[in-house]
Structure 1
Amino acid sequence: MSNAFTKLSQDKLNTAVAGVLCPRLEAILGDRGPGHCMRVTDLDDEVMESVCKELRRSHPDGNIFILGSHEQESLPYRVTSTKLVELRNPDINGELRQPLLVFIPTSLRTSAEDSFGVATFEELTFTTIYEDLIESLLDRLPATLVGHVRDLFGILTEEEWLFADDVSRVRYLLTALENGIDGETLGASLYELTLVPDFKLFADPGMVTGKIRRNLVSVRNLMISHKSVRGRIADLGLSDKALESRLFTYFEKYDIQEPEVWTPPITLDKSWWSISFDKWIFQEELSLDKVLLTVLETDLPVVQEDEDDDQLSGLIGQQILVPNDRRKMNVVFEVNPHPGKVSGLDHFTVQIISQNDGPVGKSKKVKVWKPKRTTATVSLLKLNKIEFEEGWHFIRVLPWTVDGDPIPLETDDGSESSKQSYESEPFYVLPSGSIEEEPPQRAIPIERSLEHARFRLQLTALGDERDPDEIALSGVSWAEGGRSKKASRQEILRAKFGREGAVQIPLSRMLKTIEQRILAEPKH
């Protein structure tokens, strides 16, 4: 940080909310006919003021008001309950008035409330307005940072951080945008989420999620510990004693139990930039080795060139995941050096990441291993239970200590790809689609007959909560290689059941011989 940081004003927050709400309300007003009455009750008073002001600017003669008491009649756009009832009814000529929209502050109570209840006024609700505003603001972030910000929000949701509600997230994004959006301002704006500002949060992409978790844990521990201020600071495990001293001086001025009060000055007051989170070096980090992680492959199918399905034709050559068809996927990643040689390394996490929405589902934990191999194959199961949104996703693998702290990641300087080595190639998720693929089978099971195989697969489908009637035979052929090793008088018939896989059915050689003679001379 080199320049002074600007705090977001309430007016700019209200203006941003109004910018999303006003077009929707204008569309509703244009759709409603004369005599129709509407009310809005689920907005903050200041937001109602901003929205009403903007709507009256574009509709100066419209019936758009804020309900007020008799003492507030002199304020702009105010209407008393008595006047509101009058506006609800036809005019003196019996003509229906133009649509009426009234904002009712939640703090206002009036004896005439029954006269503009939901029986006569349509209730307009905008409970998702902040969620929608978050999405519109995320679209304004640089493409290189939006994924990390979504990860940040995902972690705060996962950790149930009460200080990071939707309004706080909007304030966070607006604050960063107000100060010239980049990685530094996004880190400096963390105080809006009641985290310690971190001016270098995005300097190392591989460390972002780990730093966010460490930040949150640190704030939480400082807030809830029963120890003295000095004891709480000592428990952080910082390696810099001078920093500990500065923090102690800082908390002589601010109450350590109120992080919503003490986190903002670290950014807003330049004299305290020296205690931003990027200066917090923890003792165990000094002894941690770096590790190079490389995601080698996933076993997802690739859309072929002859694909004629409209949903898939635009994805030719790309990997695809259809959760209803493919309920498990395998991921292969490589570790260098061997996990046993990395100081502090305890486990890896394998996580599906949406390019738009961040982490999806739960992460899979993989403990370090002792065998000499440097690769690991991980199966992600029950994909059909995950609430996927259609779009591009990828796999991210990260290393952790036993306490859940991140292990530093080595970057692959030789790679020409824009993606990180610890992330897989992107794949497209199609929740409602379908794709035919023949699954890999290490061992093909043996069945006594075709019906035995069908019945077993139907039972498996029932166990997976699938429709057993969908189990269908897709092909039958004699196995290559001829005779069975166990019985020289037997041949193997291979039956395929689409994505369910294939089975082997031992049969008498005589049946194959008879079939071949019939096919050779069908007329006889």
Structure 2
Amino acid sequence: MSSGTTGMTEPTAKDLRDAIESVLAPRLAALVATRSTGHCMRITEVEAELAAALVRRLRGAVGPDATVCLLLPEAELAPDRPFHDVGVSSTKLVELRNRTEGEGILPGPLLAFVPPGTKVSAEDSFGIATFEEVPLGDAYAHLAEHLLDQVPERLRPGIDALLATLRSLPGARGGDRAVAHYLLTLRANDYREQVAGAAAYHFGLVPDFDLFTDLELVSERVGKNHRLVEKLTASPHSERQRVLELGLSDSDFASRLAGFASRCGLEDPQVWTRRIVVDRENWSLSFGNWRIDEKKRAAVSIEVRELGLPIVGDSAESAHVHPALSAIVGQPYLLAGEKGVRDLAVPFAVQPEPRKVEGLTRFRVEIVSESGGPIGRIGHIGKGTRPKAEYKATLVRLNKVDWEEGWHYVRVVPLDKDDEPLDVLPGAHDLPGGESEHFYVVPGGEIEEPPERSVGRFSGVAQALRSLQLDAMAAAEDPEQVTPLDARWRPVTARSPQKILNVRIQTVGSAEVRLSPLLVQAQQDLLARPGDTSLRRILLHPDGSAEMSTDTDQDLEDVLTGRAAEAYRDFLAARRAYFAAIGGQTDRTSQDGVATSDGLLVSEAVDFEGVRDELGSVAKVDLDR
């Protein structure tokens, strides 16, 4: 166990490994007891350290009635190595396998642990043709169930409410591994009530020391916590702006939280929420201090209509007078300066009917710079005394504003009688509600090439295109003009460890696709080696790290003959063409001739309409087999 200045003990990787061992060992011993003499089994999902502990424990449990061993490289079998007492070489393991089939047969079944990434020669391979694969993918589920049974009765109703709420919330981080970590933390701290709330960071929730003070409010507090964390995570704005958008009633607290968010980043909730617990100076940021007035719970949907600004490309004059605008054809722009736009009418629609929204009195209409925040030109319009859903506010004397070149938008904010903002429901593509289309401000002087504006986050390029093309159809525009221009990886930073694709889409702007670094690595490794058809696995370690490995079975190209070999070669040829189209590679090899995967695009970066022929060839060859 490890503990810092917080008074809370955090389980180490060894603690988690020991807990998993205590659950798996009896289960595997029971499995071995059901298998007959000569039966061979293998486990390929357990890293070497845990596997060695399981081998020792199983040998004590099953005795001489079975053979249990760990496959190790020759170098790890030396007497001074930590696992030499339980290890066997690949040659020895094949010998043990063969002894189950003839003279000198083993006294019982054979169970071999093959750690992920283990490499053996083809003649020493031991695939699923001769070894039963024993899956352990549900190990964390069994551990979580085991640990839940140990929770004291005084805490059990609250813990049950917490876990049930997490299971019901879309996108909540309440998987078996997180539950096991959480319950192990509780056990390590003698099930103290405050720790039970503080350890909520395992689920990506803000630590809540008072979570279990009133059991009837557990579900409500967890739901509110989850919604606020999701709002902080999903917003495309800066960390400071995301915090300010929460509508926290204590301005001093909001300022401290914004400073914390700027220092730590908000990309991974399980990282920054943990910082609130482990650093004593951050305890005041626990969820009990996230106070939002009840009246701010009222939420409205605000859709800002078209602003009527000129569109680049609609007239030859715009491109002639401002050549740099040719880079954003199809986008709206605003000409600033004395000869520019004087007034701007802002039409917007509100749902539900404003008179039915408790606390709502009027709307603030303002222009915001993507890089600098509000520019200072603000208008207000009351909700009115008669039923209405459509409003129009006018921002005046814009030609007197000292504009900065760049992307801007209009924001409409609902206000209460104290001019405090109410909540606005998100718009399309998870973009903030109450915001207009983004437009580029052209100062009176020369301008540089404008950057692409953001159109939101998507699961992949194909999803972005279909969604944006439907938007174009709804706006009576040509959806065929919405096409991908290019996709590039953004540099990975310490505050943003995710792999992020920036996709430029014609006529609309730039879309963002966020992906797991490990899954990207797995795809890139696969795409760089189209001739390697071995099975790939991703092993999650107890400490949260992960690694990829490949299966140890023989390459099919070495064993197939005749028509089967010819069909396999056709399949590889089609696969290579398809992988090249997906990854965008031509010749990506290092100086020693080994394929490299760095920088390859992945399937989420591709519009599959563009690789229809290559994909069809793979499918045809597969069917012909």
TM-score (norm 2): 0.43
RMSD: 3.2
The structure 2 residue matched to 1:12, chosen from 12, 15, 22, is 15
CA offset digits 1:324-374 (Å, max 9, x no partner): xxxxxxxxxxxxxxxxxxx89xxxxxxxxxxxxxxxxxxxxxxxxxxxxxx
| Higher radius of gyration, 1 or 2 | 1
Report the alpha carbon displacement of residue 109 of structure 1 after superposing the two structures with TM. 3.7
- Whether contact under 8 Å (1:7, 1:268) holds in the other structure is no
- Whether contact under 8 Å (2:157, 2:215) holds in the other structure is no
Q: Does 1:226 align with 2:226?
A: no
The structure 2 residue matched to 1:41, chosen from 41, 44, 52, is 44
The structure 1 residue matched to 2:90, chosen from 61, 67, 81, is 81
Report the alpha carbon displacement of residue 185 of structure 1 after superposing the two structures with TM. 1.6
- Whether contact under 8 Å (2:141, 2:176) holds in the other structure is yes
Q: Does 1:140 align with 2:140?
A: no
Shift in alpha-carbon separation, 1:49–1:90, aligned structure 2, 3 A: closer
Where 2:212 maps in the other structure, the secondary structure is coil
2:438 maps to none
Task: Look up the equivalent residue of 1:228 and give its one-letter code.
Answer: S
1:243 maps to 253
Report the alpha carbon displacement of residue 21 of structure 1 after superposing the two structures with TM. 0.8
CA offset digits 1:3-37 (Å, max 9, x no partner): 61111111111111111110111222333343222
Where 2:69 maps in the other structure, the secondary structure is strand
Matches of 1:157 and 1:287, distance apart in 2:
23
- Whether contact under 8 Å (1:73, 1:79) holds in the other structure is yes
Report the alpha carbon displacement of residue 150 of structure 1 after superposing the two structures with TM. 2.8
Shift in alpha-carbon separation, 1:196–1:91, aligned structure 2, 3 A: closer
- Whether contact under 8 Å (1:34, 1:97) holds in the other structure is yes
1:151 maps to 161
- Whether contact under 8 Å (2:6, 2:277) holds in the other structure is no
Report the alpha carbon displacement of residue 91 of structure 1 after superposing the two structures with TM. 8.7
Q: Does 1:203 align with 2:224?
A: no
2:598 maps to none
2:455 maps to none
Q: Does 1:105 align with 2:115?
A: yes
Matches of 2:263 and 2:123, distance apart in 1:
48
- Whether contact under 8 Å (2:240, 2:261) holds in the other structure is no
Identity of aligned residues (%): 35
Q: Does 1:27 align with 2:30?
A: yes
Matches of 1:131 and 1:118, distance apart in 2:
25
Unaligned runs of 5+ in 2: 299-357, 360-421, 426-625
Matches of 1:270 and 1:286, distance apart in 2:
30
Report the alpha carbon displacement of residue 243 of structure 1 after superposing the two structures with TM. 1.5
- Whether contact under 8 Å (2:257, 2:285) holds in the other structure is yes
Matches of 1:123 and 1:28, distance apart in 2:
12
The structure 1 residue matched to 2:177, chosen from 148, 167, 177, is 167
Report the alpha carbon displacement of residue 218 of structure 1 after superposing the two structures with TM. 1.3
Where 2:9 maps in the other structure, the secondary structure is coil
The size of the alignment, in residue pairs, is 294
Unaligned runs of 5+ in 1: 289-342, 345-400, 405-524
2:494 maps to none
- Whether contact under 8 Å (1:4, 1:268) holds in the other structure is no
Matches of 2:255 and 2:232, distance apart in 1:
15
Alignment of 1:253-402 (within 5 A): 253-284=263-294
Shift in alpha-carbon separation, 1:86–1:183, aligned structure 2, 3 A: same
Shift in alpha-carbon separation, 1:55–1:195, aligned structure 2, 3 A: same
Matches of 1:109 and 1:249, distance apart in 2:
49
Report the alpha carbon displacement of residue 113 of structure 1 after superposing the two structures with TM. 7.9
Task: Look up the equivalent residue of 1:146 and give its one-letter code.
Answer: R
- Whether contact under 8 Å (1:39, 1:124) holds in the other structure is yes
Matches of 1:192 and 1:113, distance apart in 2:
45
Matches of 2:248 and 2:423, distance apart in 1:
18
Report the alpha carbon displacement of residue 52 of structure 1 after superposing the two structures with TM. 2.6
Matches of 1:136 and 1:57, distance apart in 2:
22
Report the alpha carbon displacement of residue 207 of structure 1 after superposing the two structures with TM. 1.5
Report the alpha carbon displacement of residue 179 of structure 1 after superposing the two structures with TM. 0.9
Matches of 1:212 and 1:147, distance apart in 2:
14
Task: Look up the equivalent residue of 1:97 and give its one-letter code.
Answer: L
Shift in alpha-carbon separation, 1:119–1:164, aligned structure 2, 3 A: same
Report the alpha carbon displacement of residue 209 of structure 1 after superposing the two structures with TM. 0.8
- Whether contact under 8 Å (2:297, 2:423) holds in the other structure is no
TM-score (norm 1): 0.51
Task: Look up the equivalent residue of 1:273 and give its one-letter code.
Answer: W
Report the alpha carbon displacement of residue 280 of structure 1 after superposing the two structures with TM. 1.2
Task: Look up the equivalent residue of 1:50 and give its one-letter code.
Answer: A
CA offset digits 1:262-295 (Å, max 9, x no partner): 111211222211111112111227999xxxxxxx
